[in-house]
Structure 1
């Protein structure tokens, strides 16, 4: 999809659809009034019929017989100024309503939003349009992608052009990255293997000279002492991969932000095998890795002036005769020994070695992203990502980025009082801490391997995908991560 931000005269702007705001008193904005005048009052007559719902976010698509806009999409805004949450609702509803059209021009930039500027509005509209245009069609023999190919944001005058363009660029990049993450997450485990992810990373490096890719195979990881990672990987016939995508768009001496994604391309639970119900959704256990791919793709497409390394720890967790058993003890790359009490707590085993390896890039910040614990879903549901951090400033910055992008996170405790729950009689630590505070103890486990740098952990088990009739990957937390990376400088 192509995005544009331009000064438009609605009476002359050719478009398959003009998206117009209607407030709680059935009043149009300036552009809506101009189009109503140009169409001999037809918009006002249509609104008087009362077909547009009264609830904020209600939409009504109508055809026009006069003027350069073929259709109008009315969007109910409610009483002005609207809240940021209400505006996102308008953006999402309007975007979904025009995906069957070839193009659309949105005049929702004229809506007054509380505590938000025009750049933020443009970002939300572009993000919503980009996300709404995505459809997973790779294995559907008769399906076609959504036709929406062009989305234009109205700018009222040249003074707003720069701000609207900046918001459009960021929102469209967040949508691009999210959709790449969704596509990878939605792929089945028989196609999206660790080797597949490694090849995707190599292909990205071939396309973009500022990005280089390194892939460690099983032998190299064993030689580096990644015993925790290999304890998971050895149960599968599929070779594992530790992938690093290094993007150098910033100054040569700037330390990079390192993103570490959990890439379990299918998780059976290993010997501690999962119940069969909804086990198909364990293809989504690589959504942390998918989000890293999404961010890296967005950065290179934007030619962003930052240094970022995307690390992906990719493996399958399978219950073969080679698989780890409860009670096994392994040695991590850091030298710490780990007693494996549950082989379904495998994400932290691959991540702990990835976090140790991440230190070699001399990072300014390390953020790991993982569908780590069902306990996080119980704690926060599907709305918020669980956030843990070893420094308050990083936690605050990530939370603020999530609030701005509409990709929210909630900080969870990482207190010393939880650490003894990982004590083992036979090793330096065990890989689970019991039923209580399961997401917290998982984060405590990872914190043992991130003591040398500023670090945050995003548990996306609840936010990475949706179950049920609308089953599919969400692309989160790509918007949050890009907001943080591009706006925290």
Structure 2
């Protein structure tokens, strides 16, 4: 869909539909009051009749409003003004987008950017409107033989602002929002594909396709023979039960100075997780196609960074494999040697994500990174602890943790920090190897991160457990594209700090 920004009063806009906010109880916003005046009190009369109370997300479509150029006016409830926060603003933008798409208006001008949302500026509001609109209108239909076609879907949305002097700021928000929304969409598309299509080889081909878009990105793919030479016994132990060869996908984006140390993003790419010999229950096992959403988020973030041409050096590492039972599959009790030389007793083959990540994290050290962030649908314990609202965050550097928390808050893609205390490390003790791959039922998210921390001692590192936020269940089942907004905002913040230092 096309997005644009404009300035000007609502009554002069020639458009198929104007979008105007209404606060509870039945109180027009500033743009609404201007429009009401031009319409001779028409909007106020409708509100007095009780057609719209103004509760958050309510909509009312009006035709033939007198005294204006627009063909339609969409009134959108915004709740009580004092209670309007970031989440409600996104919900309001999504409700407006969905109603517009059903209205027959293929283009519209929205005045929702005037809504006061705490201390959030115009750039944020423009960006969130775009992202919320794209999220609300996303449909995964590429595998349907017959696609639903709307007669006149929404194709263009113009976001109106009060002053022309703010156009540059609004356009910046628009550019950021478009790049992030594109990255989120790509991550969702990959996550929603079934395991028989989205294989490790398919992920590798998607990375190569992204690299063909720009000379700034290089992609290399290590095959299993190459991984064997590097001693990646942990990663390869997971792939033993699959007929799909594992891949280690390495992306390099060079947008910063030649000698600047990169940020490395490591994404778990288990394209289907049956649990291996420690077989999962059959219920909802189809959702284990989403176990590669960490990898999808890394690719989506690279796309957003490329679209914005950020001045940063970025490395992406994606260990990709299936986890299936087979006569060759790893067994509980097996001991494997990781690339770092540390040995691991596999007590549960369904704790496979940390096995492929530990070798990828060791490999990341070759790039002498300034920072490493791994992204993984790692533990069901994180879902129990945080639900579907926040990703779990654990880090060996508090400044890095704080930066990621701030980025998530700004991007409306929140994380919550959990402890990474030494006290938990003893739960990984093994009688037969340097460590076990699980630490028991207690503190499962934390002990999984403790395991990974043993391979990240040479650099600043953070772990994002996205098991609760990477996809939705039930009627809305599907990938979310998170945490592409959080990761991209973190990189934007890094670039902004570097620019200020140079200034």
Report the TM-score, using the length of structure 2 for normalisation: 0.94
Measure how far apart 1:25 and its partner are. Answer: 4.1
Question: How do 1:75-90 and structure 2 match up within 5 A?
Answer: 75-81=76-82, 82-90=84-92
- In structure 2, the partner of 1:217 is 223
Deviations 1:130-173 (A, max 9, x none): 21121101112222477333221112112211221222222222
Kindly indicate whether residue 106 of structure 2 is the aligned counterpart of residue 105 of structure 1: no
CA contact (8 A) 1:5 1:154 kept: yes
CA contact (8 A) 1:134 1:145 kept: no
Corresponding residue SS for 2:383? helix
Distance, in Å, in 2 between the alignment partners of 1:38 and 1:151 is 23
The CA RMSD over aligned residues, in Å, is 1.6
CA contact (8 A) 1:376 1:439 kept: yes
CA contact (8 A) 1:227 1:331 kept: yes
Distance, in Å, in 2 between the alignment partners of 1:238 and 1:289 is 17
Distance, in Å, in 1 between the alignment partners of 2:115 and 2:321 is 47
Distance, in Å, in 2 between the alignment partners of 1:96 and 1:409 is 27
Distance, in Å, in 2 between the alignment partners of 1:409 and 1:280 is 26
Measure how far apart 1:378 and its partner are. Answer: 0.8
Aligned in 2, Cα 1:340/1:383: closer, same or farther, shift over 3 Å?
same
Aligned in 2, Cα 1:16/1:240: closer, same or farther, shift over 3 Å?
farther
Work out which of the residue numbers 271, 281, 306 in structure 2 matches 1:275.
281
Distance, in Å, in 2 between the alignment partners of 1:140 and 1:53 is 39
- In structure 1, the partner of 2:438 is 432
Question: How do 1:303-382 and structure 2 match up within 5 A?
Answer: 303-382=309-388
- In structure 2, the partner of 1:116 is 120
Distance, in Å, in 2 between the alignment partners of 1:60 and 1:255 is 53
Question: How do 1:13-52 and structure 2 match up within 5 A?
Answer: 13-52=13-52
Measure how far apart 1:54 and its partner are. Answer: 4.0
Kindly indicate whether residue 241 of structure 2 is the aligned counterpart of residue 240 of structure 1: no
Report the TM-score, using the length of structure 1 for normalisation: 0.96
Unaligned runs of 5+ in 1: none
Corresponding residue SS for 2:6? strand
- In structure 2, the partner of 1:478 is 484
- In structure 2, the partner of 1:63 is 63
Distance, in Å, in 1 between the alignment partners of 2:351 and 2:8 is 55
Distance, in Å, in 1 between the alignment partners of 2:49 and 2:248 is 61
Aligned in 2, Cα 1:57/1:65: closer, same or farther, shift over 3 Å?
closer
- In structure 1, the partner of 2:306 is 300
- In structure 2, the partner of 1:448 is 454
Measure how far apart 1:301 and its partner are. Answer: 1.5
CA contact (8 A) 2:42 2:65 kept: no
Kindly indicate whether residue 424 of structure 2 is the aligned counterpart of residue 422 of structure 1: no
CA contact (8 A) 2:47 2:53 kept: no
Measure how far apart 1:70 and its partner are. Answer: 2.5
Distance, in Å, in 2 between the alignment partners of 1:49 and 1:306 is 56
Distance, in Å, in 1 between the alignment partners of 2:469 and 2:433 is 33
Corresponding residue SS for 1:386? strand
* Greater mean alpha carbon deviation, residues 302-311 or residues 40-49: 40-49
- In structure 2, the partner of 1:286 is 292
Unaligned runs of 5+ in 2: 498-503
* Greater mean alpha carbon deviation, residues 143-152 or residues 419-428: 143-152
Corresponding residue SS for 2:339? coil
Measure how far apart 1:112 and its partner are. Answer: 1.8
CA contact (8 A) 1:375 1:438 kept: yes
CA contact (8 A) 1:186 1:472 kept: yes
Distance, in Å, in 1 between the alignment partners of 2:123 and 2:270 is 37
Distance, in Å, in 2 between the alignment partners of 1:53 and 1:143 is 36
* Greater mean alpha carbon deviation, residues 32-41 or residues 346-355: 32-41
Distance, in Å, in 1 between the alignment partners of 2:110 and 2:257 is 37
Aligned in 2, Cα 1:110/1:240: closer, same or farther, shift over 3 Å?
same
Measure how far apart 1:274 and its partner are. Answer: 0.5
Measure how far apart 1:24 and its partner are. Answer: 2.2
CA contact (8 A) 1:53 1:59 kept: no
Corresponding residue SS for 1:434? coil
- In structure 1, the partner of 2:501 is none
Corresponding residue SS for 1:435? coil
Structure 1 runs (4+) greater than 6 angstroms displaced? none
Distance, in Å, in 1 between the alignment partners of 2:115 and 2:300 is 31
Measure how far apart 1:65 and its partner are. Answer: 5.5
Aligned in 2, Cα 1:68/1:140: closer, same or farther, shift over 3 Å?
farther
* Greater mean alpha carbon deviation, residues 275-284 or residues 140-149: 140-149
Aligned length: 489
- In structure 1, the partner of 2:8 is 8
CA contact (8 A) 1:133 1:148 kept: no
CA contact (8 A) 1:387 1:409 kept: yes
CA contact (8 A) 2:26 2:52 kept: no
